[in-house]
Amino acid sequence: SQAEAGVWPLLQIILSSDENLSLAGSQALQSLAGSDNEVRHVLLSKIFVDSVLQILSIGIHNSNERVLQIEQVGVPDYIKVGLLSVVLKVSEVEEGLQELGTLIPILEQLKQNGEKEVKIKAKSILNQLAGEGINVQIPSQDIEKEQKIQQLEEENRRIETVVMREKQEKERILEQVRRQREDMERERIEYEREKEERMKSEEELQKIK
């Protein structure tokens, strides 16, 4: 769309290694966000928000062809400020900000550990989202994974319970067998003792006769 055609080139400009050019790109995109409803929809799309998240969290390294790939570790503060300024502008003039909930964890980190202006921008966005009642958005695939993990844990607990019961039953049977053997051994010894005594008695009787 025409809106997308305007957004992505400006995002590449924001990622420029030239700080002044990056600032100009950010200001231009903020201006569009303030005046163009279609542009705001693009800025609130999952693909754009995910791109911002990836840039802010892992450096300026993105597999998305629409995002400029910069071969360096870490993101310059001016780029963070430029991106956050665009996000803040959208959050101020648009409703339906749920998609921005995925940015909350990285915004919290930037609020705590970022450079002064980055902290201010991150805090302002968080305040906007809090005012709209927006919470962290957990991807549905993560929810499914969590549910599967819980199911596996429950199954493991069930199996462990069954194994424990079987082990206890086996130990009970072994103990029962051990006691039976002990009883049999005592009876054998007692029988042998009585047999020996009878034999002695018979021998004594034979001697008397």
Q: Which pLDDT value is given to residue 65?
A: 44
Q: Which residues contact 118 (CB under 8 A, 6 or more apart)?
A: 77, 80, 81, 84, 110
pLDDT of residue 62: 44
One-letter amino acid at 24 equals A
Is the separation of the CB atoms in 49 and 100 below 8 Å?
yes
Extents of the domains making up the chain: 2-137, 140-209
Q: Mean pLDDT, to the nearest integer, of 114-143?
A: 82
DSSP secondary structure string, 24-89? HHHHHHHHHHHH-HHHHHHHTSHHHHHHHHHHHHH-S--S-TTS----SSS--HHHHHHHHHHHHH
Over residues 57-76, mean pLDDT? 52
Question: Between these two residues, 160 and 150, which has the higher pLDDT value?
Answer: 160
What is the topology classification, in CATH, of domain 2-137? Answer: Leucine-rich Repeat Variant (1.25.10)
Q: Output the six-digit token pair for 202.
A: 């018979």
Q: What is the pLDDT of residue 3?
A: 77
* Under 8 Å between Cβ of 47 and 90: no
User: From CA 191, how far away is CA 115, in angstroms rounded?
Assistant: 93
Per residue in 18-30, pLDDT tens? 999 999 999 999 9
pTM of the model: 0.60
Say what the pLDDT of residue 195 is.
84
Q: What is the pLDDT of residue 137?
A: 55
- Say what the pLDDT of residue 1 is: 67
Q: Is the pLDDT reported for residue 185 higher than 80?
A: yes
pLDDT band of 117, cuts 50, 70, 90: very high
pLDDT at 43: 92
Q: Quote the percentage of the chain above a pLDDT of 90.
A: 41
Cβ atoms < 10 Å from Cβ of 66: 14
Name the token pair of 99: 């998609």
Q: Residue 1: which of 25, 27, 36 has the closest Cα? A: 36
Task: Report pLDDT for 6.
Answer: 83
